[in-house]
Chain A
Amino acid sequence: MVNLKKIWYVLGLLVFTTISIAFVFNYSAITVNNRFVCGVIIACLNILALVLIFINRNKMLRNMLAAIVSMAAFAFLLVPLYNVFCDVTGLNGKLDLSIAAATSQGIDATRDVTVEFVVNQNRAMPWQFTPKHSSLTLHPGQLATTAYFAKNTTSKTMYAQAIPSISPSRASKFFKKVECFCFTSQKLGPGETRYLGLRFYLDPALPKEIKRITLAYTIFDITETK
């Protein structure tokens, strides 16, 4: 009754599904919704694929349908894959929002690197948001501390998310954050002010030709999502 050849399809799909879901849950963005939607869609596509494969007697048709469903799943897999690729290569200047090890390998005292701090308020976000230092010069490996002054200038409680971005983008792999207010969303009541801290160091493996790094924070209003 059970066509043995079809077992390969089922096995393949199970492996594919497991890997996809694992990927999606580990590497999707901050919002839970992304993971949920991606996971649901990939699961549905795989069920659809199973159904189509089992109701079809024609091998060519089966293969074509498998290809179509795989490509659709691939599109959704590109979401976590993109994050993985950016994390691994550091391209895109996207910072890994995970906490770095508290100590580094050692300090490279032979060179200085200047880190500039700039801020952007997305879509006229009505908070004051200014860096305490406009720049710091330090040795790679040296632990540095700075802060940002934030003030909610409205009369309502608001939530904000700071998204970091680094230039040149290939330096982002070497920018290690030990403590950062960007790891979590920030809540400020009406008129409330706060100093938001950042502790970081530069990995001594940073290429020697990079002497100036710009760390930009864009602060987004995420009150609606809370």
Chain B
Amino acid sequence: MAGMLTRSLLILLLVSGEAYANFTINMPSGVTDISHKVFQLHMVVLWICVVIGVLVFGVMIYAIIFHRRSLGHKASNFHENTKIEILWTVIPFIILIAMAVPATITILEMDDVADSDLTIKITGYMWRWHYEYVGTNVAFMSDLSTPYEQIINRAEKDEHYLREVNNPLVLPINKKIRLLMTGNDVIHSWWVSELAVKKDAIPGFINETWTKINTVGTYRGQCAELCGAKHGFMPIVVKAVSEQDFAAWMQAQQQITVEPHQ
């Protein structure tokens, strides 16, 4: 069946690694310790499901092939077996516990916001993001920078179509960064896949999460909560730089007079 073919293809591709030309089929392993843990959790649960699926569907396929009337197979009479029912209630329960343990550990690790080096306040607007480096006067709006002509198909789309901004969020690597989120108008959600950070930005409330980026690079994400017409047009770009580069950038920023809110 088509479903099983595509599933086998998925397994092959996952085993072989990742990118085919331009696209990926799996979650990124990412550039933070948490993102690695989340990726591993995802793969473990996925593989457990694949194995269970193969076993269970295997039994069904066996029946479809060998227990068909056209082969002359005659129906048996059984329709009850308490022992086996107990077995296939308890065994899945144990497998679930095996999954729940690493999941719980990861949740508790993600919850630990203590000892951060830098705090950023992120505000979701309709339809852009605002970043404020708490404790400094550095704050700015971050808007989609893809030209309108590209969106309405009058110009060739560039490489980072819909995932590029005028003012990226610049962060230092190897520092624990506390992220405070709120919404200005409706609920938005700040999502950067490579950092495994996603959190709702709710008007009137402040949410908190943290990240610690290991590798220099540019990481892109999008708003992940329907927020009106341009929900698909308010991306996020995080530029992770070395500590020295970050210090230099902050210096330069603090000398620019910025308007915190439009």
Contact = CB atoms under 8 A, between A and B. Distances in A.
A–B proximity contact (CB within 8 A): yes
Interface of A: 92-94, 116, 118, 120-124, 134-135, 163, 165-168, 209-212, 214, 216, 218, 220
B180 A214 contact: yes
Interface of B: 113-116, 119, 121, 123, 132, 134-135, 178, 180, 182, 184-185, 203-208, 261-262
Most buried by B among A116, A120, A163: A120
25 contacts: A92-B205, A93-B206, A94-B205, A116-B119, A116-B135, A118-B121, A118-B134, A118-B206, A122-B204, A124-B184, A124-B261, A124-B262, A135-B135, A163-B204, A165-B205, A210-B114, A211-B114, A212-B113, A214-B180, A216-B180, A216-B182, A216-B205, A216-B206, A218-B182, A218-B203
Nearest to B186: A123
Contacts of A220: 204
Contacts of A163: 204
Given A122-B204, A216-B182, A220-B204, 8 more contacts: A92-B205, A116-B119, A118-B121, A122-B185, A123-B184, A123-B185, A216-B180, A218-B205
Task: Identify whether the interface residues of B are mostly helix, strand, loop, or mixed.
Answer: loop
A61 to B, nearest CB: 36
A210 B116 CA distance: 12
Contacts, number: 63
Given A134-B135, A218-B203, A120 B114 contact: no
Contact of A120 (B116, B134, B182): B182
A176 B150 CA distance: 53
B204 A165 contact: yes
A116 B207 CA distance: 14
Contacts of A116: 119, 134-135
A147 to B, nearest CB: 18
Nearest to B111: A168
Contact of B184 (A92, A120, A135, A216): A120
Nearest to A211: B114
A167 B185 contact: no
Pairs A-B, 10 closest by C-beta atoms: A216-B206, A167-B208, A165-B206, A165-B205, A218-B204, A163-B204, A167-B206, A123-B185, A120-B182, A134-B135
Contact of A121 (B121, B132, B135, B261): B261
A124 B183 CA distance: 12
A213 B132 CA distance: 17
Most buried by A among B123, B135, B180: B180
B36 to A, nearest CB: 24
A135 B203 CA distance: 22
B26 to A, nearest CB: 32
A92 B178 CA distance: 18
Most buried by A among B115, B134, B180, B206: B206
Contacts of B205: 92-94, 165, 216, 218
B180 A122 contact: no
A212 B123 contact: no
Nearest to A218: B204
Nearest to A116: B134
A139 B123 CA distance: 30
A123 B182 CA distance: 12
A209 B135 contact: no
Nearest to A166: B206
Given A118-B180, A121-B261, A123-B185, A214 B203 contact: no
A103 B182 CA distance: 32
A122 B183 CA distance: 8
Contacts of A167: 180, 206-208
Contacts of B207: 167
Nearest to A117: B134
B134 to A, nearest CB: 6
Nearest to A220: B204
